[in-house]
Structure 1
Amino acid sequence: MNDLEELGAFRAQVPEPGPERLATGRDRLVREARGRRRVLVAAWRAGLAAGVAAAAAAAVAAVALDGTDSASPPVAARPVSATRILERAAETVAGRPDRRPAPHQWVYTRTYQAGMEGAPSAMRHLESWVRFDGRETARYDAGPGRKPRLVVSRTVRDGDAEERSPAQWYDYLRALPDDPAALLAKIDQRAASYNAENGGRLYTGEDGRDQWVFGRLADFLGQGPSTPDSRRAAVFRALARIPGVQVKEGTRDALGRPGTTVSRTGRDGERLEFVLALGTYDYLGRRIVQAEEQRLPKLPGKRGGPEIIRAGTVMNEQAVEVSAIVDGAGRRP
Structure 2
Amino acid sequence: MNDLEELGAFRAQVPEPGRDRLAPGRERLVRAAGGRSRPRVPMWRAGLAAGIAVSGAAAAVAVVADRHDPAPPITARPVSATQVLERAARTVAGRPDHRPAPGQWVYTRTYQAGQKDAPSFMRHMESWVRFDGRKSAQYDGPPGKRPRLEVTNVGRDGDSEERSPAQWYDYLRALPDDASALLAGIDRRGKSYNAENHGRLYSTEDGRDQWVFGRLADFLGQGPSTPQSRRATIFRALARIPRVQVKEGTKDALGRPGITVSRTGPDGLREEFVLARGTYDYLGRRFVVVEEQRLPRSRAGGGGPAVIPAGTVTGEQAVERTAVVDRPGQRP
> Residues 1-333 of structure 1: matches in 2 within 5 Å?
26-27=26-27, 29-30=29-30, 55-58=53-56, 59-121=58-120, 124-299=123-298, 301-303=301-303, 305-333=304-332
SS in 2 for 1:112: strand
- Provide the C-alpha distance between the structure 2 equivalents of 1:192 and 1:127, rounded to a whole number of angstroms: 34
The two structures have a TM-score, normalised by structure 2, of 0.85
Shift of 1:267: 0.8
Change (3 A) 1:158 1:25: farther
Equivalent pair of 1:107/1:130 in contact (CA under 8 Å) = yes
State the structure with bigger RCO (CA 8 A, min sep 6), 1 or 2. Answer: 1
Match of 1:3 in 2: none
Match of 1:8 in 2: none
Equivalent pair of 2:55/2:163 in contact (CA under 8 Å) = no
Equivalent pair of 1:52/1:274 in contact (CA under 8 Å) = no
Unaligned 5+ segments in structure 1 are: 1-21
Change (3 A) 1:92 1:187: same
Shift of 1:309: 1.2
1:63-94 CA distance string (max 9 Å, x none): 10233332323312311100010000001101
Q: CA RMSD in A?
A: 2.5
Equivalent pair of 1:48/1:285 in contact (CA under 8 Å) = no
- Provide the C-alpha distance between the structure 1 equivalents of 2:246 and 2:28, rounded to a whole number of angstroms: 27
Change (3 A) 1:306 1:32: farther
1:80-123 CA distance string (max 9 Å, x none): 10001000000110100001101000000000011113433355
Change (3 A) 1:298 1:25: closer
Equivalent pair of 1:49/1:318 in contact (CA under 8 Å) = no
Change (3 A) 1:23 1:147: farther
Equivalent pair of 1:47/1:218 in contact (CA under 8 Å) = no
SS in 2 for 1:65: strand
Change (3 A) 1:269 1:54: farther
The two structures have a TM-score, normalised by structure 1, of 0.85
Shift of 1:145: 3.0
- The residue type equivalent to 2:27 in the other structure is D
Equivalent pair of 2:106/2:224 in contact (CA under 8 Å) = yes
Unaligned 5+ segments in structure 2 are: 1-21, 38-42
Shift of 1:25: 7.7
Shift of 1:205: 1.3
- Provide the C-alpha distance between the structure 1 equivalents of 2:309 and 2:240, rounded to a whole number of angstroms: 30
* % identical equivalent positions: 69
- Provide the C-alpha distance between the structure 2 equivalents of 1:110 and 1:53, rounded to a whole number of angstroms: 7
- Provide the C-alpha distance between the structure 2 equivalents of 1:55 and 1:62, rounded to a whole number of angstroms: 13
* Greater mean alpha carbon deviation, residues 202-211 or residues 291-300: 291-300
